[in-house]
A and B are shown apart, each in its own frame.
Chain A
Amino acid sequence: MSTTSADHAHDHSHDHAHDHPHGWQRWLFATNHKDIGSLYLWFAFTMLLAGGVMALGIRSELFQPGLQLMQPEFFNQLTTMHGLIMVFGAIMPAFVGFANWMVPLQIGASDMAFARMNNFSFWLMPPAALLLMGSFWVPGGATAAGWTLYAPLSTQMGPGMDMAIFAVHIMGASSIMGSINIITTILNMRAPGMTLMKMPMFCWTWLITAYLLIAVMPVLAGAITMTLTDRHFGTSFFNAAGGGDPVMYQHIFWFFGHPEVYIMILPAFGIVSQIVPAFSRKPLFGYASMVYATASIAILSFIVWAHHMFTTGMPVTAQLFFMYATMLISVPTGVKVFNWVATMWKGSMTFETPMLFAVGFIFVFTMGGFTGLILAVTPIDIQLQDTYYVVAHFHYVLVAGSLFALFAGFYYWGPKWTGFMYNETRGQIHFWGSLILFNITFFPMHFLGLAGMPRRYADYPAQFTDFNQIATIGAFGFGLMQVYFILAVVIPSIKGGKPAPAKPWDGAEGLEWTVPSPAPFHTFEEPPVFK
């Protein structure tokens, strides 16, 4: 570049050439929230497939007792990377993608508050993914310490562990910047008349999620930095010989980790809270209590972390405190479930795919919530901790929870993004296939866990064979459903189909439906007035 970049920026704001950037530069240099949102969504879906293939590796090895396909060390790598990729690579970025697309449209803002930083948040994700995936090929392979990276097992790992640490650092930075962007956008860029208590629920849940993120991602960064220095610079944070404590890692990790699981569910609640009223043709029941419930869940999430550590041996008072606090979270979560049901009550419902996924979400997520509550009871958790019961619990809330809400959101807002209606029949096939196969995969895991099958096991006693085989068959089916989703639903609806009207759902409300479909490159350059 001959001229200084400063001059360039100056010029650009006057000519409108940058309004319609083309080709690869459009994506690499994007400052448009919609483009960045799409980037996030594509990235997240790619990661879902990558993490899903790892899950299928796990499930294949577990199809029968014995070791058939891989050494246990590689199995542990798959489990670890599956967890890390799904959590940090698939679910979280997918919700950020939704936030990018929908928050400015819902509050009537022209873009995100910091458009360039927004792109930076995104372009930190692929490097992190490359570090994680690349670690499979370094000596010793990827880290195999579980997605929780417990010390001191993590200190034994090879260089793959360091790559994972640095990847998580980068993703943490991305999340923090993304959250600051979302908070600032919501607090400072709402259209006139859009008071906080009139804001769509999706924005509310993301606002609260963003606060959770900036509060806990730095803590995770601290924890893994200590792991790094314990590994290479001789510190003793997690080493009893030097006066440290391995359990300290778990406290710091779960101080992050528990809010993290709500980071993955609150935006899902938001999406469902948009869809249920739209297809019930009735306003959301208990809007204010929904907001308070979301906030209560977030606040409580900071004082329950040690329910992941009941078997580490805590004083009895600590066990009781964390048990009570954890059980308490059921109350605000229950409020949400009841409000959704009350919204449907005496509505005039139709069941297009978004609504199917939303109802499916409520139904199956609640099952996961109940198993969570059962795990919260310390004596029961001591029986079930580190068994497949826990695996069943969190896939009910993460797959049938977070992932189903993401699907619901795609069907709901997809027409706004692509300008075309998806194929309804195929959407319904995707829903029913996913719902049934999901349950075939994960329901038997409850039984395995109750009977005592430990998680992160490459091989198991032969008595566990039957349920494992069912789960494996379900997993392949569920995976194929997602291939169907991308090939038969998503790609066709980008390429063409029935043109979508500005507001394809007659019961839907909100500013996003006042702009044409597909949403033009720039929207709300002058803020609309919200009645």
Chain B
Amino acid sequence: VVNGPAVDMKGGPAIKQLNLQPPVTQIAEQIYSIHNLMLVICLVIFVAVFGVMFYSILKHRKSVGHKPATFHESTAVEIAWTVVPFIIVIVMALPATKTVVAMKDTSNADITIKATGMQWKWGYDYLKGEGEGISFLSTLSTPRTQVGAPGVEPTEKRGDNYLIEVDNEVVVPVNKKIRVITTANDVIHGWTVPAFGVKQDAIPGFVRDTWFKAEKIGTYRGQCVELCGKEHAFMPIVVTVVSDADYKKWVDGKKREMAAKADDPSKVWTVDELKQRGEKVYTQHCVACHQATGKGVPGAFPALDASAMVTGPKAPQINILLNGKAPGMPAWKGVLSDTEIAAVITYTRNSWSNKAAENIVQPAEVLAARK
């Protein structure tokens, strides 16, 4: 069996880890210590209560000849063990209150990043602060050949960061207050990085926010924590914390990359060019539901192979890609560019057994349909 690494994951879980992940923000630090405090108090109470119980079990048993007493109430004792726990609970709540208030204060952020949960990847938009305008998608980069499938052994050895590695990491500068606002396109997802002490549900149609200020350079890892359908376990979150200088470099690089990638929607493509591009889009975004065979999953996700929608007139297909279709098909207009949508439609119309009469869609047609 290819069971994978015997080393700890940097910025993620360690092997046989017993406690919370090592904190790299003040909030996470506080959580860590409140948890330790709670644990100790609870352990003390536990030992005290069960010390008494086990003492009684040993001494007050019939087999050692103990005769039963008859008392059955004591107002004083009963009041005591109501009031004392009450006070203990208050003592526990005090430090927690301070932390809650601090966690909720998302004001005066240096950088604001929007994280959008989608089935099954994260989209990031840098909304404010240095890097404003950067936007990208972040998908799991662990190949399926490491995961395997029922009846199919994984063919590749699992890496150290198995399941918590992505193609595009979120990059942020160290010691800066980062506000993350979360939302979702389809169902609820959960954005978390344990080392930061941050976890916030991403709710479709709503925005929520949270913040962190990482104090140590490094890469930190989390996973989607709200059940979001079949690939729930496969949409991790990776945040890389870098120095200010490195951050600047990253922003410049990213901006250049984005400019290079931006397609001119008025460019006219050939079928083969579009097919090639479309295949990439398909394997990145569509294959999870519609499958590599284009056969879909009966009852859950429709087949594209030999589908009337794909082989018929192109307008309805463009529309479905742009706007989605309940229950399962997401709207892609905010995720994919015109060129990508045109490419993937063209790909589906010329793949498997499909030989559509209208076999090509140009980006300009998608652009027109957006309006």
Q: Say yes or no: is B287 at the interface (Cβ < 8 Å to chain A).
A: no
CA distance A472 to B209 in the complex (A): 37
Q: Say yes or no: is B62 at the interface (Cβ < 8 Å to chain A).
A: yes
**A292 → B minimal CB distance (Å):** 10
- Surface stretch bound by B, among A123-131, A210-218, A316-324: A316-324
Chain B residues near A359: list those with CB within 8 A. Answer: 53, 57
Interface string of B49-87 (1 = CB under 8 A from A): 110110011001111001111111110011001100110
Q: Say yes or no: is B89 at the interface (Cβ < 8 Å to chain A).
A: yes
Q: Say yes or no: is A303 at the interface (Cβ < 8 Å to chain B).
A: no
CA distance A457 to B249 in the complex (A): 37
- Surface stretch bound by B, among A5-13, A59-67, A196-204, A426-434: A59-67
B93's partner among A311, A324, A331, A459 (CB-CB below 8 A) is: A324
B310-352: which have CB < 8 Å to A?
Answer: 326-328
Chain B residues near A282: list those with CB within 8 A. Answer: 68-70, 72
B49's partner among A156, A341, A347, A462 (CB-CB below 8 A) is: A341
Quick check: A350 and B63 within 8 Å, CB to CB? yes
Given the contacts A67-B149, A240-B205, A373-B42, A463 and B92 also touching, CB distance less than 8 Å: no
Q: Say yes or no: is A146 at the interface (Cβ < 8 Å to chain B).
A: yes
A327's partner among B61, B92, B224, B228 (CB-CB below 8 A) is: B92
CA distance A85 to B147 in the complex (A): 30
Q: Say yes or no: is B34 at the interface (Cβ < 8 Å to chain A).
A: yes
CA distance A382 to B101 in the complex (A): 13
Quick check: A379 and B5 within 8 Å, CB to CB? no
A316's nearest neighbour on chain B, judged by CB, is: B104
CA distance A155 to B188 in the complex (A): 12
Quick check: A379 and B103 within 8 Å, CB to CB? yes
Quick check: B201 and A312 within 8 Å, CB to CB? yes
Given the contacts A66-B147, A156-B327, A386-B225, A76 and B188 also touching, CB distance less than 8 Å: no
Given the contacts A286-B73, A461-B12, A463-B12, A71 and B30 also touching, CB distance less than 8 Å: no
Quick check: B34 and A373 within 8 Å, CB to CB? no
Interface centre among A145, A349, A379, A467 (most CB of B within 10 A): A379
A-B CB pair tally, cutoff 8 Å: 331
B188's partner among A150, A239, A450 (CB-CB below 8 A) is: A150
- Surface stretch bound by A, among B122-130, B296-304, B355-363: B296-304
Q: Say yes or no: is A509 at the interface (Cβ < 8 Å to chain B).
A: no
Given the contacts A247-B203, A387-B225, A281 and B230 also touching, CB distance less than 8 Å: no
**B179 → A minimal CB distance (Å):** 13
- Interface size on A, as a range, is 35 or more
Chain A residues near B97: list those with CB within 8 A. Answer: 320, 323
A346-405: which have CB < 8 Å to B?
Answer: 346-351, 359, 362-363, 366-367, 370, 373-374, 377-380, 382-383, 385-387
Q: Say yes or no: is B17 at the interface (Cβ < 8 Å to chain A).
A: yes
CA distance A101 to B154 in the complex (A): 54
CA distance A466 to B34 in the complex (A): 27
Chain B residues near A350: list those with CB within 8 A. Answer: 61-63
Chain A residues near B264: list those with CB within 8 A. Answer: none
Quick check: A246 and B3 within 8 Å, CB to CB? no
**A364 → B minimal CB distance (Å):** 11
Quick check: B226 and A386 within 8 Å, CB to CB? yes
B17's nearest neighbour on chain A, judged by CB, is: A451
Chain A residues near B223: list those with CB within 8 A. Answer: 452, 454, 457
Total residues of chain B contacting the partner, CB 8 A: 112
B4's partner among A65, A150, A285, A454 (CB-CB below 8 A) is: A65
A139's nearest neighbour on chain B, judged by CB, is: B299
Interface string of A201-240 (1 = CB under 8 A from B): 0000000000000000000000000000001000000011
B30's partner among A141, A320, A379 (CB-CB below 8 A) is: A379
Given the contacts A76-B230, A287-B73, A363-B50, A447 and B18 also touching, CB distance less than 8 Å: yes
Given the contacts A350-B62, A465-B3, A155 and B53 also touching, CB distance less than 8 Å: no
**A351 → B minimal CB distance (Å):** 8
- Surface stretch bound by B, among A21-29, A172-180, A332-340: A332-340
Q: Say yes or no: is B292 at the interface (Cβ < 8 Å to chain A).
A: no
Quick check: A67 and B150 within 8 Å, CB to CB? yes
Q: Say yes or no: is A529 at the interface (Cβ < 8 Å to chain B).
A: no
Quick check: A156 and B20 within 8 Å, CB to CB? no
Q: Say yes or no: is A307 at the interface (Cβ < 8 Å to chain B).
A: no
Quick check: A347 and B233 within 8 Å, CB to CB? no
Interface centre among A282, A386, A451 (most CB of B within 10 A): A451
Chain A residues near B82: list those with CB within 8 A. Answer: 289, 331, 334-335
Chain A residues near B38: list those with CB within 8 A. Answer: 373-374, 377, 380
Quick check: A347 and B56 within 8 Å, CB to CB? yes
**A197 → B minimal CB distance (Å):** 13
B55's nearest neighbour on chain A, judged by CB, is: A345
A344's nearest neighbour on chain B, judged by CB, is: B56
CA distance A459 to B224 in the complex (A): 12
Quick check: B208 and A313 within 8 Å, CB to CB? yes
24 A-B residue pairs with Cβ-Cβ distance under 8 Å, sorted by A, are A72-B233, A153-B187, A155-B326, A240-B206, A282-B70, A286-B73, A313-B210, A341-B52, A342-B77, A344-B53, A349-B56, A359-B57, A373-B38, A373-B89, A377-B34, A382-B197, A386-B227, A450-B18, A451-B21, A456-B232, A459-B233, A459-B234, A463-B5, A467-B16
Other than the known A152-B187, A347-B56, what 18 A-B pairs have Cβ atoms closer than 8 Å?
A65-B163, A66-B146, A72-B234, A240-B205, A246-B206, A289-B82, A313-B201, A327-B93, A331-B85, A331-B89, A334-B81, A345-B69, A362-B53, A370-B42, A379-B99, A460-B233, A462-B158, A463-B15
Listed from nearest, the 9 A-B pairs whose CB atoms lie closest are A240-B205, A139-B299, A462-B4, A313-B208, A140-B299, A451-B17, A346-B69, A348-B68, A73-B230
Interface residues, chain A, with chain B CB atoms under 8 Å away: 64-73, 76, 138-141, 144-146, 150, 152-153, 155-158, 231, 239-241, 245-247, 280-289, 311-313, 315-316, 319-320, 323-324, 327-328, 330-331, 334-335, 337-339, 341-351, 359, 362-363, 366-367, 370, 373-374, 377-380, 382-383, 385-387, 447, 450-454, 456-467
